[in-house]
Amino acid sequence: MPEPAPYYDDLECRDPEQRERALFAALPAQIAHARAQAPAYAELLHEVDPDAITSRAALARLPVVRKHELLERQKARRADDVFGGFATVGWRGQGPGRGARRVFQSPGPLYEPEGAAADYWRMARALYAAGFRAGDLIHNSFSYHLTPAGSMMETGAHAIGCTVFAGGVGNTELQLQAISELKPQGYAGTPSFLKILLDKAAEAGIGLPWLRKALVSGEAFPPSLRDWLAERGVQAFQCYATADLGLVAYETPAREGLVLDEHVIVEIVRPGTGDPVAEGEVGEVVVTTLNPDYPLIRFGTGDLSAVLPGRCPTGRTNTRIQGWMGRADQTAKVRGMFVHPSQIADVARRHPEIGRARLVVSGEMAQDRMTLRAEVASPAQGLAERIAQTLREVTKLRGEVELCAPGTLPNDGKVIEDARRYE
């Protein structure tokens, strides 16, 4: 019997330039489709010529849609379109009136459609990289109600040819019984619940020698837990996916970052802006999907990450990202007023001399002190005072300015650091 292919498909080992050309050849039609079929994009992109968006530089000029805006638009149109005008599918009385196979609810509440395409969330690629193959039984412990995680894994598993046990969340004893009797080759779910299952099995003296692989997501997966699982015979890999976008990136056996999915365009931008950062710099993950049913264009995930240099040692040629590195929404309340990362970006834009900038909020509650630390290579006389004046104009708050040398601020994506004492 021939050995299974090392990759899910040939797309994973394409020449990077070929991939880039293919993605940006498909993008104009996706933008035109979104403008024609999704009312929100008809408004947001009404002045955009889709045929002109054929490069990353052109894409970077389009507005970023962040989750709070998506939620606001959904709330405004609850009566006739729960997707806020962003989806091109729906059902009778909602949106286009047809095409949605399922609808899910995430905290907010935000609503997400599932269309009729096979492997709609594109999860098969991540499962395959984690070692799942046709004929395997997957114990799926992601939720099957409200949120789409259970369906995401199940549809991906079916695309590979796997059988799925719909475990869902909770009921630990019953799930452990099913694992001991059905003997699944792998697990899909959160890493913490997999640890709970293995701990319970050990306490009960139940061996699970057949459970050898896992695809985990939904929470942090530290190396210590990865190693703990490996010591018990389970090789677990993580993926980065969202209910809005489906799969964004996935881990490979090389365990060097996460490789981007083949059907998304990912940018890393400075938090609070739509401006791409240099390779290796930490910023917000912004994703454009080629999904025609939910054509999210420049969707700001609110997650921080960074591009890793070089290619994956497995031979996959797509860009790699570091993985989840925190949240980009660093809004702070100072002296009764909210200060947003976009405001700090505005200050920096007004002073081109500034490289990285970070607002540090210190002191005790009710005695807040703001200090803008700004990297400047060759500060002119009076620059700090001019920046301080701009900071006050933009935020309506007085703050100090500290100029520092380029490379002084840490590369962690932080724009606002709340260093106050709350005791």
CB hemisphere CA count around 302 (13 angstroms): 12
Length of the chain: 423
Residue 25 tokens, joined: 């050849």
The Cα–Cα gap between 240 and 301 comes to 11
Write the pLDDT tens digit of every residue in 4-30: 678 999 999 999 999 999 999 999 999
Q: Angle CA(361)–CA(363)–CA(368) in degrees, nearest 5?
A: 60
CB burial string 165-185: b at 16+ within 10 A, e below: bebbbeeeeebbebbeeeebb
Q: Angle CA(6)–CA(316)–CA(153) in degrees, nearest 5?
A: 65
Write the pLDDT tens digit of every residue in 49-94: 999 999 999 999 999 999 889 999 999 999 999 999 999 999 999 9
Write the pLDDT tens digit of every residue in 229-275: 999 999 999 999 999 999 999 999 999 999 999 999 999 999 888 99
The amino acid at 108: G
The DSSP output letter for 50 is G
Residue 252 CA, chain-centre distance (Å), reads: 17
In this model, does residue 1 exceed pLDDT 50? no
In this model, does residue 3 exceed pLDDT 70? no
Place of tokens 């700004």: 374
Work out the mean pLDDT of the chain and round it to a whole number.
Answer: 93
The Cα–Cα gap between 302 and 299 comes to 9
Predicted model pTM: 0.86
Nearest to 325 by CA among 384, 283, 371: 283
The amino acid at 237: F
